[in-house]
Structure 1
């Protein structure tokens, strides 16, 4: 039996350096991030008196590219880790992965392995959806693995010998189920006896993308006011940690109903409202946070950001979700609002390790790089 495994490959414009990665999504387990294991292949005629360096770069764009003028730049590049790939170190401090062993055996003596460790407090890959008329790179956090020929790690790279391959730092839903979200809010009135009580219960704490959210609503009207309308919505909270006032919320799914209303004094009502947060209904809305996007792949609403409670210095973009229920009592009586946070993420994929047999075959996906005339250099 021949087993196939996928490899991502990208070549420098001059064709002298090639980078191979086994995957482009690296999972953040909150306490640690999966290491980036890859192999760099260098042309034999290019090895003399040259050094090859590798870096993991986190690019954070926090302003529109079209607004940049007079030297103002709304992008920061953070070099999270850096290492020399060639000449290789005398002693390797880590063990080769199975994929690296197979690639080194297949590519020959001019292939050199590398490994990068992303710090656990690095931000997740998130993109802010631009408006229909916006141009340029969208705001958000993106990652890429960069290899280049130079004299030292901080040397300026030349485009013809540089390889930049986009990757993503992702998180998956926790396997441990938390407590069922529940809240009770009450409102009394200055010149009226009794109070209005609203109880909201979600069917679970963690939802996967594409799942309906069931909000169980119970209203007990012990006041002399009348409930005229009910509105339930899912709100996405975005916190851009670079700014002090960089927080905003967007309603991504909502239902407004007057079924069972008006709810008269002394009455009670219980009903379930279903909400479905989807990108389909928010395609052209500026400011919606999306999961980081790789070329040729579709994306979805950004997953909730899971953080270590001990982590104080946050960077990047933090995304959260909440169900908000409003009772409308009329112009003079105001509103009663209840809010419940929840987690929206992708389920954790099957984590069974891949077995590479001696007759394994690689399914290589090559990314085009703009070609240049080598003789003209």
Structure 2
């Protein structure tokens, strides 16, 4: 018995056009990007001689649509391309169909038309900032969508009942981990102290997967006259909004506050364990998430990997992570904070090679089901089996 594939579909209100896609997550492999493909189903009676177009867009949104200031919208199309699929043009750019497209074309009949897009290599990945529970409207986000509509021409204002939108995501998997062991250290000399404080912080590896434990090795040699206390170990997410503004959001997404002390003339060697999860940060505004699809679970945003030749401003938002160990050094002349930072990556694991009849997207869905407890989309974007 052949394996069944999940198909995502969405129809316009007047049923004139519908979009069918085998997946909604498209992977940026750094050296190549998964193409976006699917099938548009049209109703010739509803179309009534109009043209049918399919659009792929990447949009950066800094605020709600009603936040326009002096005619300047807090929204920018980073990438936008439109193809006419009906009537079919003579100079079709692609005549080879994917296996899933061929299967859908056979199942949906003569009114089904395939479409195909390729991403340029300078686009960001999907990411959004989590709003507060009281916030309404669109969130700050980099969003991708496929839009199909019928119209006399592609530039005219389209009636809401005659178009359909299907949100998609552009994601990255973790690259092969380097052999480098992330580590950082600091040596502090204090007033009225003959000897210094030395602290070193190290991790086991450079790249961690979502849901994975992070072991933080802390090595303190306190030769100073100060007493060390209030040691905290945190995973901090840093989100730089690089388009429209230079906002920076720094949020501790995992934190351990300890009662450990290191008196003068003593040492401390200890391993602390943290696990950064969205589940512990659900109500916190400004946390960056991997782009969220409607009624689907997601996770903390993955680290941004940007190619050297790409302008960072075009990325909209850049996300990075670091482990930060802080402690309070107190003495006769007051106290001061000492901190050591170690950057690392937090990403999705690259799936195992797909088995026969199994797509990479199905493997990723299984990862989300196990680690992120993803839920099935609602009926207006309902998956069906092909």
**Structure 1 and Structure 2 fold alike (TM over 0.5):** yes
**2:299 aligned partner:** 300
SS in 2 for 1:103: helix
Distance in 2 (CA, whole Å) between partners of 1:193 and 1:24 is 61
Aligned partners of 2:232 and 2:325 also within 8 Å: yes
| Residue correspondences, number | 360
Distance apart, 1:213 and its partner CA: 0.8
Distance in 2 (CA, whole Å) between partners of 1:242 and 1:347 is 29
* Distance 1:44-1:152 versus aligned 2 partners, 3 A rule: closer
1:334 aligns with 2:336: yes
Distance in 2 (CA, whole Å) between partners of 1:52 and 1:368 is 21
**1:163 aligned partner:** 164
**1:280 aligned partner:** 279
Unmatched runs of 5 consecutive residues or more in structure 2: 359-375, 382-386
SS in 2 for 1:192: coil
Residues 143-170 of structure 1: per-residue CA shift (max 9 Å, x gap): 1101111233333222222111111111
**For 1:139-178, what aligned pairs fall within 5 Å after superposition?**
139-178=140-179
* Distance 1:52-1:138 versus aligned 2 partners, 3 A rule: same
SS in 2 for 1:228: strand
* C-alpha RMSD over aligned residues: 2.4
1:75 aligns with 2:75: yes
Distance in 2 (CA, whole Å) between partners of 1:96 and 1:350 is 25
Aligned partners of 1:10 and 1:366 also within 8 Å: no
Q: Higher mean Cα deviation, 225-234 or 317-326? A: 225-234
* Distance 1:132-1:66 versus aligned 2 partners, 3 A rule: farther
**For 1:180-199, what aligned pairs fall within 5 Å after superposition?**
180-199=181-200
SS in 2 for 1:337: strand
**2:372 aligned partner:** none
SS in 2 for 1:4: coil
* Distance 1:124-1:14 versus aligned 2 partners, 3 A rule: same
Distance apart, 1:325 and its partner CA: 0.6
Distance in 2 (CA, whole Å) between partners of 1:53 and 1:214 is 51
Distance in 2 (CA, whole Å) between partners of 1:294 and 1:193 is 58
Distance apart, 1:36 and its partner CA: 0.6
SS in 2 for 1:229: strand
**1:108 aligned partner:** 109
Q: TM-score, normalising length from structure 2? A: 0.86
Higher helix share: 2
Ranked by relative contact order (alpha carbons within 8 Å, sequence separation 6 or more), the top structure is: 1
Distance in 2 (CA, whole Å) between partners of 1:118 and 1:2 is 31
- Aligned with residue 349 of structure 1, among 337, 348, 351: 351
* Distance 1:10-1:367 versus aligned 2 partners, 3 A rule: farther
Distance apart, 1:354 and its partner CA: 5.4
* Distance 1:118-1:178 versus aligned 2 partners, 3 A rule: farther
Distance apart, 1:273 and its partner CA: 0.8
**1:374 aligned partner:** none
* Distance 1:366-1:66 versus aligned 2 partners, 3 A rule: closer
Distance apart, 1:90 and its partner CA: 2.4
Unmatched runs of 5 consecutive residues or more in structure 1: 357-363, 370-377
**For 1:216-235, what aligned pairs fall within 5 Å after superposition?**
216-235=217-236
**1:361 aligned partner:** none
Aligned partners of 1:55 and 1:79 also within 8 Å: no
SS in 1 for 2:10: strand
1:85 aligns with 2:97: no
Q: TM-score, normalising length from structure 1? A: 0.88
Distance in 2 (CA, whole Å) between partners of 1:355 and 1:244 is 46
* Distance 1:67-1:52 versus aligned 2 partners, 3 A rule: closer
Aligned partners of 2:238 and 2:320 also within 8 Å: yes
Distance apart, 1:327 and its partner CA: 2.2
**1:26 aligned partner:** 26
Aligned partners of 1:18 and 1:163 also within 8 Å: yes
Distance in 1 (CA, whole Å) between partners of 2:156 and 2:353 is 39
Residues 214-264 of structure 1: per-residue CA shift (max 9 Å, x gap): 0000011222222123111110000111144212211111112233x2422
**2:45 aligned partner:** 45
Distance in 2 (CA, whole Å) between partners of 1:237 and 1:174 is 20
**2:100 aligned partner:** 99
Aligned partners of 1:230 and 1:257 also within 8 Å: yes
